[in-house]
Amino acid sequence: EIVMTQDPATLSVSPGERATLSCRASQSIRNTLAWYQHKPGQPPRLLIFRASTRASDIPPRFSGSGSGTEFTLTISSLQSEDFAVYFCMQYHDWPRTFGQGTKVEIK
Amino acid sequence: QVQLVQSGSELKKPGASVTVSCKAAGYSFTNHAINWVRQAPGQRLFWMGSINTDSGNPTYAQGFTGRFVISLDTSVSTAYLQINRLQAEDTAVYFCVRSRPLWGFVFDIWGQGTVVTVSS
């Protein structure tokens, strides 16, 4: 199965600053990579699919890039509501596999 | 509003069974497969299996055969995850998730999660 690795485990950022999150696949997944935001007590929310396409109603401060094995999620200017856990998922092959998550916390 | 609403938290003893339900609303149920994903404490998400809501055919991940049964009732737009012979290691949050065919079958809508605790 494809192993997804996220870095860093925790990212401390001040409001208004940029956050850059990394996700790496153990083999090429082309662009079949999604990013999700997960807050406690809420269902995960799809942010990005096809590595760089924003899902419906996702603000433009969220952007995704990459292909093959290296992917990045960038939050250009962190808002208070953006502090959460972010995880990636590959949907290139079965079983679908997930990264372990990056917690974005207030610095 | 498109949503998946799951049943409430469960506390079960080892050896018992539990059924988690996932009711779809706001879209045509049979147009999107439903997946089940588990998150054990401190662990990453793990895909358990899925069900084709048109044919009713389930598929299971390795390690989730035998004790796990995925089913559905299209008359009430609901999918089910049944876990038999519960073990302490089954303690986790269980999510149902919809696949979106037009977006490459990415998982787009998630249920709120159901906490299953297995303890004697």
Best mutation target, B32, B106, B110, to test chain A (most A CBs within 10 A): B106
Contact A101/B at CB under 8 A: yes
The one-letter code for the residue type at A105 is E
Predicted local distance difference test score (pLDDT) of residue B47:
98
The span from the CA of A66 to the CA of A46, in Å, is 17
Please name the residue of chain B whose CA is at the shortest distance from the CA of residue A96. Answer: B47
pLDDT mean across residues, chain B: 96
User: Smallest Cβ distance to B112: which of A43, A95, A99?
Assistant: A43
Predicted local distance difference test score (pLDDT) of residue A18:
97
The percentage of residues in chain B with a pLDDT greater than 70, rounded to a whole number, is 100
Any idea which residue has 């899902």 for tokens? A55
pLDDT at residue B18 tops 90:
yes
- DSSP code of residue A96: P
Any idea which residue has 């001040």 for tokens? A14
Tell me which residue of A90, B68, A33 sits closest to B59, measured CA to CA: B68
CB B82 within 8 A of CB B107: no
| B106·A34 Cβ contact <8 A | yes
* Backbone CA torsion sign across B60, B61, B65, B70: negative
Q: How many residues appear in chain A?
A: 107
Contact B21/A at CB under 8 A: no
Contact A33/B at CB under 8 A: no
Local confidence band at B102 (pLDDT 50, 70, 90 cut-offs): confident
Predicted local distance difference test score (pLDDT) of residue B103:
85
Q: Which residues of A touch B61 (CB under 8 A)?
A: 94-95
| B106·A46 Cβ contact <8 A | yes
Predicted local distance difference test score (pLDDT) of residue B14:
98
CB B106 within 8 A of CB B99: yes
Rounded (5°) CA angle B45-B61-B63: 90
Mark which residues 78-97 of A lie under 8 Å from B by CB: 87, 89, 91, 94-97
The span from the CA of A37 to the CA of A84, in Å, is 7
Q: Which residues of chain A have pLDDT under 50?
A: none
Any idea which residue has 């953006």 for tokens? A82
Average pLDDT estimate for B48-55: 96
Write the Ramachandran bin of B43: left for phi over 0, alpha for psi from -120 to 50, otherwise beta: beta
The one-letter code for the residue type at A23 is C
Beta bridge partner(s), residue B116 = B10, B92
Tell me which residue of A84, A69, A88 sits closest to A31, measured CA to CA: A69
Q: Which residues of A touch B106 (CB under 8 A)?
A: 32, 34, 46, 49-50, 89, 91
CB B7 within 8 A of CB B113: no
* Tokens read off for A77: 């200017």
The span from the CA of A77 to the CA of A16, in Å, is 4
Predicted local distance difference test score (pLDDT) of residue B104:
84
Contact B113/A at CB under 8 A: yes
